[in-house]
Amino acid sequence: SQKIEQNSEALNIQEGKTATLTCNYTNYSPAYLQWYRQDPGRGPVFLLLIRENEKEKRKERLKVTFDTTLKQSLFHITASQPADSATYLCALPTGGSYIPTFGRGTSLIVHP
Amino acid sequence: EAQVTQNPRYLITVTGKKLTVTCSQNMNHEYMSWYRQDPGLGLRQIYYSMNVEVTDKGDVPEGYKVSRKEKRNFPLILESPSPNQTSLYFCASSIDRDRARNTQYFGPGTRLTVL
């Protein structure tokens, strides 16, 4: 069955550094992959989408890469700020559906 | 403002007392779904609806019911709540036609406690 893996351990980094989060998946070839941000007690908010034929996508301080051979996406936040502290979820369509399934998320903590 | 709304935001109830959590979206989205989120388990889909009068089970449908009589509304019904349904619930919607993206728009969440 399809598995989506994100590091369950929180990522702690210092303000100003680049945060890199990983999303690995198995047993499927998704047409796209999405990244969402979730703050405690609130609903996830869409950040970026990258399609299978794209290697990299950028939006302001965010960068996403998508390696369909490794079945992996990397999510980077450059010049991180304490306000970037949140849980980041990756999501991708699994099985025969084009509706995304979510990973469990990785918590990012940016220390001032 | 484009949004998904849920009510109530917080609910404490007792075992066996039927309850309904409402969900409404104003974006004319065809696809709507319900998730529950529990620590360590992430978001798990309960039910989804591809359009009016079309609903289907997600990954964890036991103990829940849904209906989709209007495009904008997708209520979640717990006929006989039990303590293991204590969770944070999210409603989400997306434009079903946009298969290349399917961005999910989430509501603010409903924190349910069943005693």
> Is pLDDT of B100 > 90?
no
CB contact under 8 A, B90 and A43: yes
B62 close to A (CB below 8 A): no
Q: How far is B19 from chain A (nearest CA, A)?
A: 21
B49 to chain A: nearest residue by CA? A99
Q: How far is B17 from chain A (nearest CA, A)?
A: 25
Residues 6+ apart with CB under 8 A from A18: A76, A77, A78, A79, A80
* pLDDT value, residue A1: 56
* pLDDT value, residue A102: 92
CB contact under 8 A, A89 and B43: yes
> Is pLDDT of A88 > 60?
yes
According to DSSP, the residues that pair with A112 across neighbouring strands are: none
Instruction: Select the residue of B42, B100, B104 nearest A31 (Cβ to Cβ).
Output: B100
pLDDT tens for A2-43 read 689 998 899 999 999 999 999 999 878 888 899 999 999 999
B44 to chain A: nearest residue by CA? A102
Supply the DSSP string of B12-59, one letter for each residue. EE-TT--EEEEEEESS--SEEEEEEEETTTEEEEEEEEEETTEEEE-S
Per-residue confidence band for A66, with pLDDT thresholds at 50, 70 and 90: very high
pLDDT tens for B41-92 read 889 999 999 889 999 999 899 999 999 999 999 999 999 999 999 999 999 9
pLDDT tens for B40-52 read 888 999 999 988 9
Q: How far is B86 from chain A (nearest CA, A)?
A: 14
> Is pLDDT of A97 > 80?
no
HEC profile of chain A: CCEEEECCCCEEEECCCCEEEEEEEECCCCCEEEEEEECCCCCCEEEEEEECCCCEEEECCEEEEEECCCCEEEEEECCCCHHHCEEEEEEEECCCCCCEEECCCEEEEEEC
CB contact under 8 A, A99 and B102: yes
CB contact under 8 A, A100 and B104: yes
CB contact under 8 A, A32 and B101: yes
* pLDDT value, residue B98: 60
